[in-house]
Amino acid sequence: MVSKDTAATGGTDEPVVRLKGVGKLYGTVRALQGIDLDVRPGKVTCVLGDNGAGKSTLIKIVSGLHQHDEGDYLVDGRPVRLSNPREALDLGIATVYQDLATVPLMPVWRNFFLGSELTKGPWPFRRLDIERMKRTTGEELSAMGIHLDNLEQPIGTLSGGQRQSVAIARAVHFGARVLILDEPTAALGVKQSGVVLKYIAAARERGLGVIFITHNPHHAYMVGDHFSVLRLGALELNAAREDVTLEELTNHMAGGAELAALKHELAQVRGVDVEELPEAVQSPGA
Q: Which residues bind other proteins (CB under 8 A)?
A: 85-86, 89, 95, 97, 100-106, 110, 113-117, 119, 126-128, 130, 149-150, 152-154, 157
- Alpha helices by DSSP H, listed for 119-159, are 130-143
Q: How far is the CB of 266 from other proteins (least distance, A)?
A: 40
Q: Are 85 and 95 in contact (CB under 8 A)?
A: yes
88 versus 223: smaller Cβ distance to other proteins: 88
**CA pair distance 54, 263, nearest whole angstrom:** 25
User: Nearest distance from residue 125's CB to other proteins, in Å?
Assistant: 9
- Give min distance, CB of 189 to other proteins, in A: 18
User: Nearer Cβ to other proteins, position 105 or 143?
Assistant: 105
By C-beta, is 82 or 101 nearer to other proteins?
Answer: 101
- Cβ distance 92 to 175 under 8 Å? yes
Could you give the CA distance from residue 236 to residue 256 in angstroms, rounded to a whole number?
11
- To other proteins, the closest distance from the beta carbon of 20 in angstroms equals 26
Distance between CA atoms of residues 1 and 229, nearest Å? 33
- Residue 48 beta carbon to other proteins: minimum distance, rounded to whole angstroms: 23
CA dihedral (82, 83, 85, 86) positive or negative = negative
Evaluate whether 81 touches 90 at the Cβ level (below 8 Å): no
Nearest residue (CB) to other proteins, 85 versus 138:
85
Nearer to other proteins, 146 or 151 (CB): 151
